[in-house]
Amino acid sequence: MTNSNLRGYKKIRIKQFNTIWTLGFLMFFHPARYVVGGTINNLINIITFAVAGALIICSLLLRRFGYRMKKSTQIIWALYFWCLVGSSIINIIIGREIDYADTVVFFSIATAFILLCDIGIWYSPEKTMRCFLLVGITVCTLNALTFFLFFNHGGMNHSTIEYGRTLTKNYFLLGEDNATYFWSWPVLVVTWFYYYKYSKSKLFRIVALAFTVILSASYLYVWSAMAMVACISVPIVLFIFIKGLNREKKGKRTRNHKGIQFWYMWIFGLLFNMLLSLQVILPLFQPIIVQVFHKPATLSSRTFIWERSLIQISQSPIFGYGSEPAGLTTRKILINHTHNLFLETLYRGGVIALIILVLFFVVLTIESSRVRSSILYKYLIIMVFAFLIYSSVYFAFYRYHYLILYILMAHTELFDDSSVMNHQTTARGVSLRIRI
């Protein structure tokens, strides 16, 4: 298949692409799973399963047009497969009870989201991010506004309820204040990425700034201090890189001496997760947690969750427990994840899952670092690093929206302006030599 035929194929599918991908992303930002149950929720789960199957077939058909899933994307999908399906099968064989419905639903959602992002970014990064932002900014803004309009203070401390549908009392639209971070923060990161790469219009800058202010204010309102700091840091980080971005826009290559080494950053992020969950470094941060952020020294009972999770992990360290919830209760609320990336990986998939996670970061680093002059690559590195730090106190495998950041990193070559400029210059040079 020639490049001209491939471009023609894309032109034929532009309108269908925009509509399908917008509807596809809407499926991942729907609030119904948190505020309603019964028939509607079951219908959405069936649709999710069907969409995942359709995208798998689509990915196979697109291979004739040059589509290949990146190795790092394959590995992160394999991590979800093992933690949600493979490990669950092992646990069924040895006699443990597993929630089959949750296993199928969570894995279908993760598969559909990964394929939707990967195929879309391969096909057209600009259009994919536009569809993602159209849905994400709209829904996440509405969710943030509900904190103010309905006086939702968020936080489990304000309720004595069982984990389930009655969460709507304090968490109005997207389910809970912590969940909004995993929904809205990746949207914010992509918003500023899209602004500097594709649309530096005044209108979109106003949208990006307003979205940042609304999210920051909502995090401040529920006093999610760490989320608020992460939110404010997004435009600040890109502001620091503005000069470098302008050079790339003009086609001037920026020399990258050592740059930002992602190797060190993800290794530090995982070690931070591990040491914090083991409460080795927690005493160092307790004065700041208590005196500055006015949070309990136990990090809202997370230390209790980590201690009990470690006991559970020690009983099945190799294979983990799959999609089976921890089954621990505190303050009458069911703990269904460990609130930590390191522990969550071990709990769901054991040592095997941890090895897959490390392999993913190794491959992602190799794939993405091929374009060493990209300023936007450095921006994504810092954002992923910020996510790794935040995931030390809150992480669950069924919060999958952050995966778009990893997939963007894997496709870094699509965003390197300098390589495109060099390619065009080389092409002009060849044409000149032919004329002479």
Q: What is the pLDDT of residues 357-371, one digit of tens each?
A: 999 999 999 888 776
Does the pLDDT at position 154 exceed 50?
no
Mean pLDDT of 175-198: 79
* DSSP-assigned letter for residue 328: E
Does the pLDDT at position 221 exceed 70?
yes
Confidence of residue 99 (pLDDT cuts 50, 70, 90): confident
Alpha-carbon separation of residue 235 from 218, 263, 382 (angstroms): 17, 24, 12
List pLDDT tens digits, range 258-281. 567 889 999 999 999 999 999 898
Q: Are 244 and 373 in contact (CB under 8 A)?
A: no
Lowest mean pLDDT of 42-51, 329-338, 388-397, name the range.
329-338
d(CA 133, CA 408): 14
Mean pLDDT of 2-22: 58
- Can you read off the two tokens belonging to residue 344? 């969550």
State the pLDDT at residue 357: 96
Q: How many Å is the maximal CA-CA distance in the chain?
A: 82
State pTM to two decimals: 0.84
CA 320 to chain CA centroid, nearest Å: 23
d(CA 402, CA 384): 9
Does the pLDDT at position 423 exceed 70?
no
d(CA 184, CA 135): 11
List pLDDT tens digits, range 386-408. 999 988 988 878 778 899 999 99
Q: Which residue has the tokens 């939702």?
A: 152
Contact residues for 267 (Cβ-Cβ < 8 A; gap 6+): 361
Lowest mean pLDDT of 186-195, 196-205, 251-260, 406-415, name the range.
251-260
Confidence of residue 76 (pLDDT cuts 50, 70, 90): very high
Domain boundaries, the chain: 3-435
State the pLDDT at residue 47: 84
Contact residues for 273 (Cβ-Cβ < 8 A; gap 6+): 340, 341, 342, 343, 388, 391, 392
| 3-class secondary-structure state, position 329 | strand
Mean pLDDT of 10-32: 72
* DSSP-assigned letter for residue 333: E
Residue 333 φ/ψ, nearest 5 degrees:
-120, 130
Angle 242-247-250 from CA coordinates, rounded to 5°: 125
Does the pLDDT at position 90 exceed 60?
yes
Confidence of residue 217 (pLDDT cuts 50, 70, 90): confident
* Bridge partners (DSSP) listed for residue 335: 328
Instruction: Reduce the secondary structure of 247-258 to three states and give it as a string.
Output: HHHCCCCCCCCC
State the pLDDT at residue 152: 55
